Structure 1
Amino acid sequence: MSNLISFTDKGLYCVQGNFYIDPWKPVDKAIITHGHADHAYLGHRNYLCHPYTKTILQLRLGDNNYQTLEWNEIINLNGVKVSLHPAGHIIGSSQVRLEYNHEVWVVSGDYKVEDDGISGQFEPLKCTTFITESTFGLPIFKWKPQEEIYSNIINWISKNKENGKTSVLLAYSLGKAQRVLQAIKETTQTIFAHGAVFNLQSMLIDDGWNLTPVERITPETPAELLKGTVVVAPPGADGTPWMKKFNPYSVGVCSGWMQVRGNARRRNVDAGFVLSDHADWNGLIQTVKETGAERIFVTHGFQSAFSRYCNEQNIAIAAEVKTQYGNEDEEAVQENVKQESGI
């Protein structure tokens, strides 16, 4: 079995096709799986991505040489057949399928298997080699149906209203925020948002997405107007002076990391809702099996635990790969998980 993709200090490199996938250093040709900052960097000469991702990249990276490819559309790059397929992670997120010399490689990027109604239904692809994330690659991470989580969030908002508190929901501005906003749109007449959430939500609505509109919070927004309302903000807003305007308020974090007992307490928040844009333990195993891959490479997350399990269970020949995907916040929480899990 050949190595159609090499793991370099710039990123995942397809030697035959002469292009990179989600490189973290400037390259000539980059295929981008999705618009999150750890997968989409500034400085590449040429970008190839799904049309939905192009809109996001234009907002985040500005004007560049973008080429788009619809899901299931095939192009030929130096003899390598390349196509994009839904990853279900966030809007526009795609897996990259490469076919060359009777071998099929799939780079999944980030993915989740439950259909959130916005990001596209994840599509398992048959392949000989599969490159998978493992953000939540431990058995403790098993998600409940999203509708159950949404119901819990709505009930929490109702209780806060009864107690005269503003509900501040912390969710990543790209991906999580869109899901949360759709889930809570009937809870209040106006949903207020941090500028980072407002900018992305407004851009997506302008691009034709039927998403929940929000009102931006500015320095001029009267504090009285915000009392007892619902506010959606990125995690980075927590603990900043920006939050003072909402007093009295209750903070809820929407994150898969809330699965671990104690993370809500460590972050000093009032509620934790286990809502993730990544596959859980069962989803990762299910996906690897469905690909039928003989070999898998495991990137960011709990690579060691997940690859070891795949090898021990004879699911596939698994190996760990070091990349620059993931972020510092995730790494800090992972340390807490390791301590509680004894790994």
Structure 2
Amino acid sequence: MQPVLTFTDSGIYCPAGDFYIDPWKPVERAVITHAHADHARLGNQKYLCSKDSVPLLQLRLGQDIAVQGAGWGETVQINGVTISFHPAGHMIGSAQVKVTVGGQSWVASGDYKTENDGLSGEFEPVRCHVFITESTFGLPIYHWRPQAALFGDMENWVKENEAAGKNSILLGYSLGKAQRLMYNLQHTGKRFLVHGAIYNAHETLLKAGWNLPPVELITQETPKEHFKNSIVIAPPSTADSTWMRRFAPYSLGVCSGWMQVRGNARRLNADAGFAISDHADWKGLLGTVKETGAEKVFVTHGFSSVLARYLQENGIPAEEIKTAYGTEEETTV
């Protein structure tokens, strides 16, 4: 029997349907798991994604792209192949793609996390014959504390900064992480001041009907007094930039799963590191593989060799696959 999905130089390919999932080279038909740049690239002729991803794809790739959205669990037929989207919990609109051909179901999970952050949707394990999983944090050392505890630490940090007369700056990826931070810190009553990259994504989501707190775009004219009693949220690329100098004196906090490892915060000249990730930790990855009931697992970007070997040693056929994923800022901070 021919595999439902194959791995090619252009991306994950479905021969029976003649489409690709998250292709990294331009193709005719692209099925997209989510709107991060390493999974949703410009140049494809037709795009298919979850309904919630449509405005984000248009933001990233242009309003004129040919894009179709499907609801959760809704089936779409392409050349007789059945496709459905299921919540991945990674960010708003992120989906796992289930592809069924002749009674065989494969699931390409894209990026996912198993803890519900209150905004990105509840992760849904999908039963399948073959599962394609990421492994960004595929090492036993990566074990996330509950989200409530992490945000409690952030709140205390902000209070300590205020007591010391410092402004609070949190670094998080502009699409996904930034919205998660604001959504879960809005009860503090602080004003959110944001970098332009975050503002654009925020405005797109507000127009799409998402219930997010108001933000203020930081410009050259933003009064310094607005920095007080506020939380500044910026992308990681602004660290150690001239853009940051306007906030002095300030304390810098980096929000990333990589902060689980001691020394990473110091390497980025950060005052605090919060190990909050939009990817599954080691237990989340293993638990998901088990819940899918998959007879075979393909492991993509991250610590793929480690996870694949562990699964093999525990009786689950697994294989490491090289892809072009994992180039988003989450992987660099």
Q: After the TM superposition, which residues 214-253 of structure 1 pair with which residues of structure 2 at under 5 Å, given as runs?
A: 214-227=215-228, 229-253=230-254
Residue of structure 1 equivalent to 2:117: 116
Residue of structure 1 equivalent to 2:271: 270
Counterpart of 2:164, as a letter, is: N
Residue of structure 2 equivalent to 1:195: 196
Alpha-carbon distance, 1:6 to partner: 1.2
Aligned mates of 1:204, 1:216 — CA distance in 2: 15
Aligned mates of 2:150, 2:257 — CA distance in 1: 11
Residue of structure 2 equivalent to 1:56: 56
Which range is displaced more, 26-35 or 1-10? 1-10
1:20 aligned onto 2:20 = yes
Q: After the TM superposition, which residues 168-179 of structure 1 pair with which residues of structure 2 at under 5 Å, given as runs?
A: 168-179=169-180
Contact 1:157 1:187 in 2 (8 A): no
Contact 2:256 2:330 in 1 (8 A): no
Alpha-carbon distance, 1:102 to partner: 1.9
1:33 aligned onto 2:33 = yes
TM-score (norm 2): 0.97
Q: Which SS does the other structure have where 1:276 is aligned?
A: coil
Residue of structure 2 equivalent to 1:282: 283
Cα deviation code 1:251-296 (max 9, x no counterpart) = 0011000001111111110000010000000000000001111101
- Name the count of aligned residue pairs: 332
Contact 1:137 1:281 in 2 (8 A): yes
Aligned mates of 1:196, 1:330 — CA distance in 2: 15
Alpha-carbon distance, 1:41 to partner: 0.3
Alpha-carbon distance, 1:188 to partner: 4.1
Counterpart of 1:273, as a letter, is: F
Residue of structure 1 equivalent to 2:318: 318
Give the fraction of aligned pairs with identical amino acids, expressed as a percent.
56
Alpha-carbon distance, 1:300 to partner: 0.2
Cα deviation code 1:113-142 (max 9, x no counterpart) = 111111111111111100000000000000
Residue of structure 2 equivalent to 1:341: none
Alpha-carbon distance, 1:189 to partner: 4.0
TM-score (norm 1): 0.94
Alpha-carbon distance, 1:319 to partner: 0.4
Q: Which SS does the other structure have where 1:185 is aligned?
A: helix
Counterpart of 1:144, as a letter, is: R
1:104 aligned onto 2:72 = no
Aligned mates of 1:138, 1:228 — CA distance in 2: 38
Residue of structure 2 equivalent to 1:300: 301
Cα deviation code 1:200-241 (max 9, x no counterpart) = 112111211111111000011123332453100010111110
Counterpart of 2:264, as a letter, is: N
Residue of structure 1 equivalent to 2:7: 7
Contact 1:299 1:323 in 2 (8 A): yes
Q: Which SS does the other structure have where 1:186 is aligned?
A: helix
Q: Which SS does the other structure have where 2:82 is aligned?
A: strand
User: Displaced runs of 4+ in structure 1, greater than 2 A?
Assistant: 186-189, 222-225, 328-333
Q: Which SS does the other structure have where 2:125 is aligned?
A: coil
Residue of structure 1 equivalent to 2:91: 90
Aligned mates of 2:330, 2:175 — CA distance in 1: 16
5+ long unaligned stretches in structure 2? none
Alpha-carbon distance, 1:301 to partner: 0.2
Aligned mates of 2:107, 2:49 — CA distance in 1: 15
Residue of structure 2 equivalent to 1:125: 126
Cα deviation code 1:58-107 (max 9, x no counterpart) = 11111211111111011221121111111110000000001111211000
Q: After the TM superposition, which residues 158-169 of structure 1 pair with which residues of structure 2 at under 5 Å, given as runs?
A: 158-169=159-170
Aligned mates of 1:332, 1:66 — CA distance in 2: 30
Q: Which SS does the other structure have where 2:151 is aligned?
A: helix
Aligned mates of 1:126, 1:237 — CA distance in 2: 41
Contact 1:125 1:291 in 2 (8 A): yes
Aligned mates of 2:327, 2:101 — CA distance in 1: 33
